[in-house]
Chain A
Amino acid sequence: MEIWNEAKECMSRDQMTQLQSARLKKVVSNVYHNVKFYRQKMQEMGLEPGDIKGIEDLNKLPFTTKADLRDNYPFGLFAVPKTEIVRIHASSGTTGKPTVVGYTRKDLDTWSECVARCLTMAGLGKDDIIQVAYGYGLFTGGLGAHYGVENLGATVVPMSTGNTKKLINMMIDFEVTGLMCTPSYLMHIAEVIEEMGVKDQIKLKSTINGAEPWTEAMRVQIEERLNIKAFDIYGLSELMGPGVANDCEFHKGMHIFEDYFLPEIIDPNSKDTLADDVTGELVLTNLNKEGMPLLRYRTRDLTSISHDVCDCGRTTARLSRFKGRSDDMLIIRGVNVFPSQIETALLSLDETTPNYQIIVDRVGSLDNLTVKVEVDEKFFSDEIRELEKLEKKIAYAIQQMIGLATKVKLVEPRSIERSEGKAKRVIDNRKFD
């Protein structure tokens, strides 16, 4: 299998450490001088850019959290003048305020470089025709993948999400060989391919799937079902978007592009750095970003890291399959959902929060979100019409808040399961191990 950028992906550990140290010093100095938030944080800690001599000093630096991004909404963490920013992306936040990221032209080039590396890992190259079926728009998935495919020199078909039959018909007509989408959407596509009875007309070779958690068993199952190779991709908009890490044909964890993203694993409680192969929270530092470089961003994703050299020849560290989150965020069809958002939506209806429970199911292969709402005296009407109106109103408020269609189910008072008197807010019936 080819390697897109052998110089960077197969560096010796010493070379990588040197490169990372040089870039870390630069980025620390950059944010100290150009981002008030970091300058204040470092000054509070009695830290100056000169104190950071290399990656061995990483744990002296302050953390960055999603709340910090929100607090500095919209452009407070940008390290360059707005005139240098050529693109904005945003993801949903816990209070309805999105978190915003900005990219310079060079940042977009870096992003395309990363995605091209991922595509090459999946055995795709300039001769391939690749459908991108992530949502295009503020979400980083669509556009991030799109420009990566163009950078690779392959042909991109910008499907976005939605019409599955059309996607499959084009897949056949264009002889599409690569596909980027969420794992659950891939499963849905497989089902529709089977329903349409067109499996033998599909030329698909490889798929790259991410933006939501899935299991190794699911990956193997989809490979067999469609007779393809499926690859796991990781990314987050705060750091860049899809393409922070990707697994190679050996599927022994995702290679993280360490020349751009400096990974650490910490204990989410004590915040101590953990050793290789020990599961903890992934913390990432942007090493080469101009628009909005983040120091020690707490991803809340739980994984472990391994530095063993992979059989594919790449020397980059690998992240094990994600084991969940260290907070209560849910990832549903690629969209980040916090229970507090749903609570905010419910609160907006009537200043009184009904008792509710969020249930996530994987029905067939698609993630479905159901919100159970207890009908107490405040909400009860003796007319079905009124209750249906209430259901629609709730569903609309939630959809406005999280951007996902939600099924609202009215239930009897106190029928929502309680533990120690407190209602259990989230039931996630999806299996990820």
Chain B
Amino acid sequence: MALKQLSVFLENREGRLEDLFQVFEANNIEIHSFSLAESSEYGILRLIVSNPEIAKEELRAVDFSASLTDVVAVRLPGGFDSLKSVTDAVTSEYNIEYMYVLSTEKDKQAIVFKIKNVEEVEKSLEEKGFTLIH
């Protein structure tokens, strides 16, 4: 089962990030990691949080565009130096749409990426001995 990433559309408007974090605080949602993609007019905040379903509902209730996206989260056995082994394992078949860091903690380094056909990729990674995070 894939990891659920929370994706939120954010206009480049003052105070919007603040509003968002307020929703998290009020609902005791912890952020494990995030990445912000931006264009000149808006951004998309992608987050790995403790309770994505609730976060999504609570954000929608206050007029944020939020959705859940299936992503692959995988540990890097040899730290970030072993990134290549992950990309080698998946990119021969599919393109990674985007990628960011989930954890930098020593011996627990991990990344998150979006790719088509998540289940297949997860299976193939597991077969190759990678540890997935769900």
Enumerate chain A interface residues (CB-CB to B < 8 A). 375-377, 380, 382-384, 387-388, 409-415
Contacts and interface: CB of A to CB of B under 8 A. Distances in A.
B67 A412 contact: no
Interface of B: 5, 7, 9-11, 13, 16, 37-39, 41-42, 44, 46, 60, 63-67, 69, 97-98, 114
Given A382-B5, A382-B7, A413 B64 contact: yes
B11 A412 contact: yes
Given A382-B69, A384-B37, A410 B42 contact: yes
B9 A412 contact: yes
Q: Which interface residue of B42, B69, B97 has the most chain A CB atoms within 10 A?
A: B42
B11 A411 contact: yes
Nearest to A374: B65
B21 to A, nearest CB: 16
A167 to B, nearest CB: 31
Given A380-B66, A410-B42, A412-B11, 15 more contacts: A375-B9, A377-B60, A380-B9, A382-B5, A382-B7, A382-B46, A382-B67, A387-B39, A409-B41, A410-B41, A412-B10, A412-B16, A412-B63, A413-B65, A414-B63
Contacts of B9: 375, 380, 387, 410, 412
A380 B97 contact: no
Given A382-B44, A383-B97, A387-B44, A375 B67 contact: no
Contacts of B67: 377, 380, 382
B65 A380 contact: yes
B69 A412 contact: no
Nearest to A407: B41
Contacts, number: 54
A415 B63 contact: yes
A387 B37 CA distance: 12
Contacts of B7: 380, 382
Contact of B65 (A376, A383, A388): A376
A109 to B, nearest CB: 52
Contacts of B69: 382
Nearest to A379: B65
A410 B9 CA distance: 10
Contacts of B42: 387, 410-411
Contacts of A376: 65
Nearest to B5: A382
B37 A413 contact: no
B63 A413 contact: yes
B44 A412 contact: no
A428 to B, nearest CB: 22
B44 A383 contact: yes
Contact of A412 (B5, B64, B97, B114): B64
A411 B41 CA distance: 9
B39 A383 contact: no
B23 to A, nearest CB: 13
B11 A383 contact: no
19 contacts: A376-B65, A380-B65, A380-B66, A380-B67, A382-B5, A382-B44, A382-B46, A382-B67, A383-B44, A384-B44, A387-B42, A387-B44, A410-B9, A410-B11, A411-B42, A412-B10, A412-B11, A412-B16, A415-B63
Contacts of A382: 5, 7, 44, 46, 67, 69, 114
Contacts of A413: 63-65
Contact of A384 (B5, B39, B64): B39
Contacts of B37: 383-384
B121 to A, nearest CB: 17
A375 B60 CA distance: 12
Contacts of A380: 7, 9, 65-67
A380 B9 CA distance: 8
B98 A383 contact: yes
Contacts of A411: 11, 42
Contacts of B114: 382-383
Given A380-B9, A382-B46, A383-B97, A412 B65 contact: yes
A382 B10 CA distance: 11
B18 to A, nearest CB: 14
A349 B66 CA distance: 21
Contacts of B97: 383
